[in-house]
Amino acid sequence: MSHEPSWDLYRTFGAVLREGSLSGAARRLGITQPSVARHIDALEASLGVSLFVRSARGLSPTDAALELKPHADLLASTSAALLRTADGRAGEVRGTVRISASEIVGTVHLPPIMTGLRLKHPDLAIELVLSNSVDDLLQREADIAVRMFRPTQNALIAKRVGNFELGLHAHPDYLARRGTPGTLEDLRNHDVIGYDVETPALRAFLQPWPMLQRAAFALRVDSDVAQLSAIRAGYGIGVCQTAVAAMEPKLTRVLPEAFGADLETWIVMHEDMRTNTRCRVVFDELVERLPARPR
């Protein structure tokens, strides 16, 4: 390496990776396309590697670029965290806090809490990321996370706030059309809504219910919101939080004695943020108000 590349070059590299083109990266960064091209050329020269293969279809990252991607992502998230930290003043509830949560928690449970925070602290801004990623706090992609499992990393502060109960639910129109299952085995003759990509966590969670495996699903989608929308539309029977279903007057719980599960719910923060006033305020508010059932 001839010299240490500037941060601007890495930032441009990350933008090209995300957008897949020079023009897309230029729009994202607010600079010209020739500037983006110069940045990539300069970074390739400094690192001594080729980062992209250019073709009529756009840019494809080389193996070297894919190896560098996690480090570029970490630089970008650390830079964003630095700006959020500098955005406020010591001891004041102002600036930006970035929260990571699952789709259902982020779209159903958090909006009333965020509204309350905004009313009490008008100088506080919230960035909400809908994600279940385990590493987003360690990678500084978020300041606070709501997670449905107990964190194990030593660098995190975690507070358990209870459980969210899960149950099988369906719309009355579906049950009128197809009948109500009497046993879990009856689900084999029903349209069941479930996940698409199986993860080790999902496999372990659903092990007691072999009839809720991917091959049995009539609709496969990894979005919790999309699954809930399909249940609402009468597509079939699916799993959702009982607290969410209770907000939907037309959803009926199915087989409550045969299927039920609790998701542990934790509020998590990186230990480096414990002295940050606005993060502490948001953390405490989530612990106090997130409507999970008692432990």
Domains 7-85 and 91-295 share a fold: no
Return the CATH class of domain 91-295: alpha beta
Pick from 209, 132, 136: nearest CA to 167: 209
Give dist(CA 293, CA 57) in Å, integer.
Answer: 51
- Which residues neighbour 85 within 8 Å (Cβ) at sequence distance 6 or greater? 95, 276
Pick from 221, 255, 227: nearest CA to 240: 227
The secondary structure element, H or E, covering residue 287 is helix 277-289
Looking at residue 91, its pLDDT comes to 64
Residue-wise pLDDT tens for the chain (295 aa)?
456 778 888 889 888 888 888 888 888 888 888 899 899 988 888 888 899 987 766 788 899 888 888 888 878 777 766 766 666 665 678 888 999 999 999 999 999 999 999 999 999 999 998 976 655 665 667 889 998 888 777 778 899 999 999 999 999 999 999 999 999 999 999 999 999 988 777 887 888 888 888 999 999 999 999 999 999 999 999 999 999 999 988 899 999 999 999 888 999 988 877 778 888 999 999 999 998 665 5
CB of 29 closer than 8 Å to CB of 7: no
Looking at residue 170, its pLDDT comes to 98
Looking at residue 133, its pLDDT comes to 63
CB of 192 closer than 8 Å to CB of 212: yes
In tens, the pLDDT along 150-167 reads 877 777 889 999 999 999
Return the CATH class of domain 7-85: mainly alpha
CA dihedral sign of residues 178, 181, 186, 188: positive
Sequence ranges of the domains in the chain: 7-85, 91-295
Rg (CA), the chain: 23
DSSP 8-34: HHHHHHHHHHHHSSHHHHHHHHTS-HH
